[in-house]
A and B are shown apart, each in its own frame.
Chain A
Amino acid sequence: MTDVSQDSRRSARAEASRRAFYRFRQSRLSMVGATMVAVVLFFTLFGNLLAPYPEHVRGGLNTAERFQAPSLAHPFGTNELGQDVLSLVMAGTPVSVAAGFAVVLIGTVLGVVVGALAGFNGGWIDDVLMRFSDLMLTIPSLILAMAVAAALGPGFVNMIIAIALSWWPGYARLVRGEVLQAREEVYVAAARAIGASPARVLFRHILPNIVSPIIVKMSLDMGFAILTVAALGFIGIGVRPPTPEWGTLLSIARNYMPDFWWTAVFPGLAMFLAVFGFNLLGDGLRDVLDPRARR
């Protein structure tokens, strides 16, 4: 039994978030996802520092030790240049995660702006913005990214811009739908009745109430964004070697399959861990934050 007086002093909001966290912990898959994401984030922050062969990360090579199988000295083996694959995979984490995060963030910002404008104003603004985002949805993201790379040249920033350009329409649709729904709430009518300006209604009353589904979608999308970044690296228009990036590593390793399997398997596993982790985390967050979508 807990102390009653202390219970009543605790605010109900803290209680609600404590319950949400409890429900999140009850789902084993969500916890697995959170753990995987924690590992990925750990290597995002410290991957460069912890890499056992930092000189290999900077492009140094050791041709005497080409294609060593996994061993104690090189747990993930070495590649065609004699570089330690473990070091490259660890150092590749920040690149992939940062790129994925940047894509999702830019996509979210653009999507929220477009979706909120469309849903809040309605009428012809809604029609124009949503037809435009439908149009963007019809362009395959890889093709668009190739076009941007051709126009602006390949590179980290251009790749992020290219993917984000094809990423925002999903958010625009989500936000528009949520805004349309929230706009009809009585507390929105109440805000307008006390004389709140449209901007105030949107930023103070509508947007704070639709944050949950946006966060859930961001988490679910992180995995796909990382995958798309790797796909661009794989076809050679993303991050350029010697910067280690999972997709680029895979692309080079492909030439040495299946004899030197470790050069491809370990970057692939890292990608799998990140994508799967963010998806499980997103599913778990959705169950907690957005109970309507619970299966």
Chain B
Amino acid sequence: MLEIENVSRVFAARKGMFGSTPGVRALHEVSLSVRKGESFGLVGESGSGKTTLTRQILRLDTPTSGRILFEGEDMARLSPAALRALRAKVQIVFQDPYASLNPRMSVHDIVTEPMLIHRATLGLNRQQRTDRAAELLELVGLGPQHLYRHPHEFSGGQRQRICIARALAPGPSLVLLDEPTSALDVSVQAQVLNLLIELQQRLGLTYFFISHDLGVIRYICDRVALIYRGEIKEQGETQRLFDAPESDYTRSLLAAMPPDVGRVAGR
């Protein structure tokens, strides 16, 4: 479903009047493939290139080299119209639910906006969009009574549910989850993770799950890749990787895990 082939991203060196910054190699020859219906985990520490990679997939940024194929199509070659249509298929939930909702918009406007933008593809009129927004809110554990509230009236966990509803609104097949629980309280983390698992089963979604929390990854993901300084160090089935790590980096990472990891989500 999603093929990432030898993607590199170098942020160019800058020479300015007041000093220079050297070039940064944020991603180096990254190759991954995500299969339909699975949860693919990407683990890495801060600054390892996780977020840069999501920006490439969303085409908020352009790779220096390499290709990204979604359902067999090279995203770089799509016409602007085709790219817009494709954006309905690939959605993202960001890490910080406090920053990722526009404070001036009501929940209704936030959740219906993707449907408004993709109305040509989805074919929903105003009333249908509002109805669907109410359905989506119920799907993520909120309700129609929350439609006309504003983001600041919600807790972190509720906001993340709104973000999930917004991501589901255009009917995506792939959802990128960029550390969707790391900004939340531990008790709320489990609720949101369980919601994500439930949604995946009901809607047949494919997840690309980014985290630095190995416990969460182990709980959610079928396969996992480790990224370190912009390079993929190891990838494979989650269970295999946890049981028999191949690279030194994976071993040191697993050794650094607190002993009760894997039970955080309270299965």
Contacts and interface: CB of A to CB of B under 8 A. Distances in A.
Interface of A: 11-13, 16, 185-187, 189-197, 200, 204-205, 208-209
A190 B113 CA distance: 11
Contacts of A185: 99
A196 B150 contact: no
Interface stretch (B38-46, B64-72, B85-93, B203-211): B85-93
Nearest to A192: B60
Q: Please give me the 4 A-B residue pairs with the lowest Cβ-Cβ distance, nearest first.
A: A195-B87, A186-B99, A208-B104, A186-B100
Interface in B76-118: 84, 87-88, 91-92, 94, 96, 99-105, 113-114, 117-118
16 contacts: A186-B96, A187-B102, A190-B163, A190-B166, A191-B102, A192-B58, A194-B91, A194-B117, A194-B170, A195-B87, A195-B117, A195-B118, A200-B117, A204-B113, A208-B104, A209-B103
A200 B103 CA distance: 16
A117 B163 CA distance: 29
B114 A195 contact: yes
Given A189-B60, A191-B102, A193-B87, 9 more contacts: A191-B113, A193-B60, A193-B92, A194-B169, A195-B117, A195-B170, A204-B113, A208-B104, A209-B102
Given A189-B60, A194-B113, A209-B104, A12 B91 contact: no
B153 interface: yes
B263 interface: no
Nearest to B57: A193
Contacts of A187: 99-103
B126 interface: no
Interface residues of B, number: 28
Contacts of A194: 87, 91, 113-114, 117, 166, 169-170
A196 B112 CA distance: 12
Contact of A11 (B118, B153, B163, B166): B153
B114 to A, nearest CB: 4
A196 to B, nearest CB: 6
Interface of B: 58, 60, 84, 87-88, 91-92, 94, 96, 99-105, 113-114, 117-118, 149-150, 152-153, 163, 166, 169-170
B118 to A, nearest CB: 6
A193 B172 CA distance: 12
Given A11-B153, A195-B117, A209-B102, A190 B88 contact: no
A259 B75 CA distance: 83
Which of A189, A190, A196 is packed against the most chain B CB atoms within 10 Å? Answer: A190
Contacts of B170: 194-195
B88 to A, nearest CB: 7
Given A185-B99, A187-B99, A187-B100, A196 B94 contact: no
A193 B104 contact: no
A197 B84 CA distance: 9
A192 B61 CA distance: 11
Which of A11, A186, A191, A208 is packed against the most chain B CB atoms within 10 Å? Answer: A186
Nearest to B80: A197
A196 B105 CA distance: 15
A193 B113 CA distance: 12
Nearest to A205: B102
Contacts of B103: 187, 209
A19 to B, nearest CB: 13
A214 B118 CA distance: 32
B62 to A, nearest CB: 13
B193 to A, nearest CB: 21
A191 B163 CA distance: 11
A195 B91 CA distance: 10
Contacts of B118: 195
Contacts of A189: 60, 94, 100
A215 to B, nearest CB: 14
A190 B152 contact: no
A187 B92 CA distance: 11
A189 B153 CA distance: 22
Nearest to B88: A195
A200 B102 CA distance: 13
A185 B94 CA distance: 12
